[in-house]
A and B are shown apart, each in its own frame.
Chain A
Amino acid sequence: MDPATLIPSPDAIPVPWGYFQFLLILTFFLHLLFMNVMLGTSFIALTRELRSPTAAPPPCRDLASKLTHIIAFTVNFGVAPLLFLQVLYGQFIYTSSILMGAYWLSVVPLLILAYYGAYLYKMRHDLTAGSRRGTLALSLCLLLAIAFLFVNNISLMQNPQNWDAYFSQPDGTLLALADPALPSRYLHFLAASAAAGGLFLAILAWFRLKKGEQGAARELGAGMKWFTYATVVEAGTGIPFLFSMPREVHQLFVGGALLPTLLFSAALVATFLCLRYGAQERVWPATAALAVTILCMILVRDLARQAYLAPYFHPADLAVSPQWSPFLLFLAILVAGGGAVAYMLKLAAKAGREVRP
């Protein structure tokens, strides 16, 4: 069956596609930062729980207590890119979501459980070491499962040639397991998350170090170690990930086309810098390098998606029926909302230390 016959007709957009593309990249970047930190933090916290003697006090309550906030903002900053993705690629993402509907909808209860698990870990001080480990492990597993489902959906949406499996399996239980890029793609994201988690640990330690807290330097070193080693793994999984993509896609990034190659090269340079600053335990340069790496990789990823879908669609094909006033209002509210958030954070910072329940 010609996949093109299955692709639904898209709806018109109110401003040219480039605006949405920009918003998609920007908000996805923020989402990815939080998401990486969320997964990485959970992973590191669990390994520490497992390593620590059961009688010892919780080894990483500080770290894990941030988890609930990070989940909140991961979800929140996930909403915006999903919105803009639906605007640009609705006919693909709706379809792939339906094909894996049962799994896709399960994201909701899984996330609620993981989230409450994180709150349980954070708020209940009377948990035994076993319960703490169990709770954290459960939350982590659920988050990993959700990440796996997201990776599947994104993979499925850009491979319409696999969609006809629906006809023999219309009950929403398809996954993108047929996509050879899936395993390396997933592992690549997990490694990136571990790296970001390590860096987050180091950043927290850096602030504690500034206050002269005991053990902060050791913590910073540990965090940077996580960051560096995970970045090595990340780079290691990135190579098979690249070459598991179809030839016409991956070639774009290794000399096939200028912009993709440039972006990919920039990402590689930034990764190298991550390793270097990581090894040197320089927190802020490493953070900047990681941010650049993530941004470049998001752009690379976006170009790859366009290449996957090139036979069928490009967002520039979308009809535009212009309505600017809602867009302008959005920008105004974004600025005002940002101001309000900054004001609140300032008040919070002034209020001093967090009060823990």
Chain B
Amino acid sequence: MNYPVWQLDFFGGGLTIALIAILHVYISHFAIGGGLFLVLTELKAYRENSPEILEYTRRHTRFFLLLTLVLGAITGVGIWFTIALIAPAATSILIHNFVFGWAIEWVFFVGEIVAVLVYYYTFGRMDRRNHLIIGWLYFIFAWLSLFVINGIIAFMLSPGEWLTSGNFWDGFFNPTFWPALFFRTFLCLMLAGLYGFLTSTAIKEEGLRHTMVRYCATWLLAPFVFFLASAYWYVQSLPPGPRAWVLNLDSAIAPSLSFFIWGSPLLFLGGLLMAIRLPQLAKRTLAVVLLLLGLAYMGSFEYIREGSRRPYTIADHIYANAILARDLPTVAEKGILASARWVDKEITDANRLLVGRQIYDIFCASCHSIGGPIRDIKKLSAKYASVYVMEGEISGQGKVIGCMPPFPGTLAERNALATFIVEGLRGKKKPQAQPTLSAQPLAPLPFDPETSQYLLLAWNNMGMHCLTDADSLFSFLPPANNLHAQLIRRGPTPEVVTEGVVITYQVEPGFENPAGKVEFWKYQTPLYGTSQPENIGLSGNGLAGTMTLNPDSKAFAADKVPVVPYPAAGGYMPYPAFTIEARDKATNTLLAATRMVAPVSTELGCKNCHGGGWSKEVAGISPVPTRDFLTVHDRFNKTKLLAAARAGKPLLCQSCHPDPILNAAGNPKLLNLPASIHGWHANFLTGRGAEACALCHPNNPQGSTLCLRGIHNELGLTCVNCHGTLEDHALSLLLAEKKAGKPGADRLMKHLKPRSVASLEEIKPRTPWLNEPDCLTCHVGFAPPETDTAFNVWTESGDELYRNRHDESGSIHCAACHGSPHAIYPATNPYEKERDNFGPRQYQGNPYPIGANKNCAVCHTVEMEEELHHPNSLGMMRNSRE
């Protein structure tokens, strides 16, 4: 924030540093081990009285000199140049805190140069003993250089006590200092062998060549076991953060880690191969291959080390984007533009992209490239469909995903950054056209108030009901809607009929064959452990059948009817209608018939953040987003969901996560599914309103379902009015899980702040599907509401849910007269305006609740004066349509 940012775009910070650093460390470690190799090989020549070995040593020294003194030394300066350009603030901290460490290292550097030049240019001219002393001095200086640099590099990974004391020695002799020193020292010795292969395989005389190649192989092989032991020690001494990245095999460093793990036996095997007699050409080739393997091996180690430091440049002190950890709260309070120097101070419509770029430079550019090979922001952000969801991804950083620093900007800054990434880098897309939503009009069935003896009321109780139609990969919602009906015998004293009748249901034509549209029946066994025939749902009900009586609720029901939103003729229709008929059990005479809608949507917006598109033009979960979120889940929870799916055994989310909606016990130690899904996503979608809900649930204003279609929607209420904002909603679920002692809750709650109440303590914990908003919170005493906020007052149990509740007489379901949840009469269906109002239109000729406007006669056949069903039931309709 202090410094300007060099816009590197293609290279990004990462590649630029990697290119120069890996080359340098590979040579500089050789410069240390190779120094010992020189002096010991010279000694060997003297001991064995071998002028040939001495000559080999001299020639190897020349190679050593040319490589280490030029390429090694200058790339070392190059790293310093590079880090100062890419991470000037962190470099400044390293320079200022360890200036005398660097200065001491410089003295050793002087000694190294003098020693190696004297060693080479006096070869064969100096007294043997003195020449060996020079050789030893070179090695000592070189190793002492490592000693110093190792202290500073290890400091970046594990600053230890320095964080509080600021003391040079605390920082230098930090928790990983010694293991890293041993690790690197053994590596240096091994590299001496690897580089030695290059010169020893070039020896013309076969006997000597074989001897020297074997000698080099000893250098590679002998330290190996000590090297691996020190690697183990190194990992054990890592602070918890870096250690977790390594031990959890985080996907960002997993390839390097695998390479390191597989590279070890390969190198060892290569060393063994070099020790046996092979043709010279084979050995020359193998020497080059091993040298390159060694380079990649070294690179993978450095990548793991750097990667395990994320999101910091100096652990727990300065983030990769140069914001000091201690400054983060201040920056978050003031905003990035107010805190940074090299930026425009205001965001306007005209400069939004430019400022977005400036924020990108500060916040992202130190690690990400634009179109380059390392952490390409264009590629990584391609899955975010809009600026809106890109903002979500930005908000989520540093929370549940710890590899990136938290974003401390204001909402406007977040928007500018997201706009730059989505529109500035990818180009502005035309907004998608709203799909045309229409359906063949379906009339209500006939009813004659004068002659009809019965009233059949039907509803579904699933509300904003969805189906996850990517069964080959996962599932958490099967095709399963619940149809309910109550038959009322009309008369001055009406009666709910429960005996002597048969209630049947039949889906409208075109929806009878869901098995032809979704793969549920193919994957039901791995997902649900069932093997129902095609078109038969989990409870044994098909698309037509007989409802069963629930004597307690005096209603008939058909559970888990496997209706899907895909008509046979093609397209998407999330509101299939059912015809419900009541017949006399004895005579099969039709007593009453009605229609109802069983909503079912596949407009789950996973694709908004997880990439890809719809599977069926305007809805449907396609494989691309599914694979993406399974990958994310696998990455952060160490699961193997994608692999299981690929093996043809997709998993039901509730097989692990408990969930009352499916009566799934799951793994009781894990968060229930609603708590985990809402908790995870709330960390990203902070500071939003109902539009955040609509990213996943089928109520996007530009979408193809618009499932909130009752009177509340018409009056302008949104999800948030009843369920709270996403953060509050998630916290209420997580809090219950936390109280139940589930360890995962804290991780998701840590960064969530309540919005509608002042503190977490004020949030009322709840169990999903059972503790839900209560209609009577706003409609106190069934009176007109004086508030529009129902959040934080929950039904005490499932019995009090709107979908299960009865009137005060205990006979009639609320939903029987007022309509299905989320489609409260008068509802407006986006496909056909009156589609959700079949019952009222059939019996009353209007879309209002049954009996509205004092129409007691619809059941009672006469006018009534008593408010039998609930107080205020004799009031007039307040929200009449024009």
Contact = CB atoms under 8 A, between A and B. Distances in A.
Interface stretch (A35-43, A87-95, A233-241, A287-295): A87-95
B91, B92, B103, B166: most-surrounded residue (chain A CB, <10 A) = B103
Contacts of B167: 323
B102 interface: yes
Contacts of A8: 2-3, 88-89, 341
Interface stretch (A189-197, A216-224, A326-334): A326-334
A278 interface: no
Nearest to B112: A76
Given A115-B74, A166-B342, A345 B114 contact: yes
Interface stretch (B93-101, B397-405, B863-871): B93-101
B121 interface: yes
A170 B6 contact: yes
**Interface size range on B against A:** 35 or more
Interface string A315-357: 0000001010111011001100110110011011011111111
B291 interface: no
B92 A340 contact: no
Contact of B114 (A75, A167, A344): A344
A351 B119 CA distance: 11
Interface in A287-309: none
B598 to A, nearest CB: 58
Contacts of A321: 166
Interface in A72-100: 72-73, 75-76, 78-80, 83-84, 86-87, 90-91, 94-95, 97-99
Interface stretch (A104-112, A126-134, A135-143, A248-256): A104-112
A13 interface: yes
A214 interface: no
B133 interface: yes
B249 interface: no
A44 B92 CA distance: 39
A6 B343 CA distance: 9
A173 B709 CA distance: 58
A154 to B, nearest CB: 15
A344 B92 contact: no
Contact of A348 (B69, B100, B122): B122
Contacts of B652: none
A184 B111 CA distance: 36
A355 B122 contact: yes
B92 A72 contact: no
A330 B230 CA distance: 29
Contact of B117 (A72, A90, A167, A171): A72
B118 A101 contact: no
A116 B96 CA distance: 33
A84, A87, A172, A351: most-surrounded residue (chain B CB, <10 A) = A351
Contacts of B6: 98, 101-102, 170-172
B118 A79 contact: no
For the residues of A in contact with B, the DSSP-based class is helix
Given A98-B3, A348-B122, A354-B121, A11 B96 contact: yes
Contacts of A340: 111, 137, 141
Given A75-B77, A101-B6, A357-B62, A94 B107 contact: no
B104 A355 contact: no
B4 interface: yes
Contacts of A180: none
A208 interface: no
A119 interface: yes
Interface string B72-88: 01110110011011001
A321 B11 CA distance: 37
B156 to A, nearest CB: 15
Given A330-B103, A344-B134, A72 B69 contact: yes
Nearest to A169: B7
Given A83-B95, A99-B4, A326-B100, A344 B125 contact: no
Contacts of B85: 97-98, 101, 104-105, 172
A172 B85 CA distance: 10
A192 B247 CA distance: 58
B168 A326 contact: yes
Contact of B91 (A94, A102, A330, A345): A94
Contact of A341 (B62, B114, B121): B114
A319 to B, nearest CB: 10
B70 A115 contact: yes
A105 B80 CA distance: 10
Contacts of B342: 6, 166-167
Contact of A14 (B99, B125, B127): B99
A112 B7 CA distance: 25
B96 A105 contact: no
A90 B107 contact: no
B71 interface: yes
Nearest to A73: B113
Contacts of A7: 341
Contacts of B108: 333, 337
Interface string A145-189: 000000000000000000100110011100000000000000000
Contact of B4 (A84, A170, A351, A355): A170
Interface string B1-28: 0111111100000001000100000000
B303 interface: no
Contact of B361 (A10, A170, A338): A170
A79 B145 CA distance: 14
Nearest to B127: A351
Contacts of B2: 8-9, 91
A166 B7 CA distance: 10
A355 B121 contact: yes
A334 B7 CA distance: 39
B125 A108 contact: no
A347 B92 contact: no
A83 B5 contact: no
Nearest to B93: A11
A124 to B, nearest CB: 12
Given A79-B109, A83-B99, A355-B125, A323 B81 contact: no
B88, B124, B137: most-surrounded residue (chain A CB, <10 A) = B88
A329 B103 CA distance: 10
Contacts of A172: 6-8, 85
B113 A72 contact: yes
A310 interface: no
B100 A330 contact: yes
A12, A321, A357: most-surrounded residue (chain B CB, <10 A) = A357
Given A8-B2, A337-B110, A351-B122, A112 B70 contact: yes
A14 B94 CA distance: 12
Contacts of B113: 72-73, 76
Interface in B22-76: 62, 66, 69-71, 73-75
A209 B88 CA distance: 51
Nearest to A164: B342
B131 to A, nearest CB: 8
A108 B82 CA distance: 10
Given A115-B70, A119-B70, A330-B100, A166 B110 contact: no
A99 B3 CA distance: 10
A87 B69 contact: no
B82 to A, nearest CB: 6
Contacts of A72: 69, 73, 113, 117
Given A90-B95, A105-B81, A333-B104, A171 B7 contact: yes
A86 B93 CA distance: 11
B423 to A, nearest CB: 20
Given A83-B99, A341-B114, 7 more contacts: A90-B95, A166-B342, A323-B167, A327-B100, A329-B104, A340-B111, A348-B126
14 contacts: A14-B168, A73-B113, A79-B109, A86-B92, A97-B85, A105-B82, A108-B78, A115-B74, A119-B66, A326-B99, A326-B168, A329-B104, A347-B118, A354-B122
**When A and B form their complex, which 7 residue pairs have the shortest distance between CB atoms, in order from nearest?**
A8-B2, A108-B78, A326-B100, A101-B6, A351-B126, A11-B96, A94-B88
